[in-house]
Amino acid sequence: MSARSAALRKQLETHHAELLVMLGSLQPEQMQSAVYAHGTAAEWTVHALLAHMANAAEGMLQIAQAVARGGNPVPEDWDVDRWNQSQVRKHAAEPAASLFSRIQKAHVGWIEFVEVVSDLELERMGRHPIGRTLSVKQMVQTHALHQVQHIRELAAALAQS
């Protein structure tokens, strides 16, 4: 594993540890607590945000892997907000334990990916669901920061409830 990959792994591990603390502190009754309204869509609960985090971690990993192999799987007309809303609805009844498991499995996938990706592959460019063209390295960093953003939103919402 290169030094660049090792730094990415450390970033992923640090932010995932923070997420595990948050997940470990959640009580079943908090799963329906409001976190925020997402754009023009309905309010997102803790459960909805965790469903989003699981789907995003899985999906962004698949995209980063495809870009590392030379692909560019995200179409130019991709609507990330529509996708996110559809996935939250699709997983509305998924048990919290299943969401936690998916988040953990995706984390393991991210770690395995950064351990084997080459420095050359880290520089490959592809379209990210947010609509920008990013390197694979930036996709890994964006995933880690995406987790941090939502961890902080969860913490703030739960502190107010």
pLDDT tens digits, one per residue of 81-135: 888 888 888 888 899 999 999 999 999 999 999 999 999 999 999 999 888 999 9
Tell me what the pLDDT averaged over the chain comes to: 90
pTM to 2 decimal places: 0.90
Whether 35 contacts 157, CB under 8 Å: yes
Asked if residue 41 has pLDDT above 90, the reply is: no
Q: Tell me the fold of 3-160.
A: Four Helix Bundle (Hemerythrin (Met), subunit A) (1.20.120)
- In the chain, domain spans: 3-160
Residues 6+ apart with CB under 8 A from 5: 114, 115, 117, 119, 122
Residues 15-32 have a mean pLDDT of: 90
Tell me what pLDDT residue 36 has: 76
Question: Side chain identity at 73, as an amino acid letter?
Answer: P
Residues 22-39 have a mean pLDDT of: 83
Tell me what pLDDT residue 75 has: 82
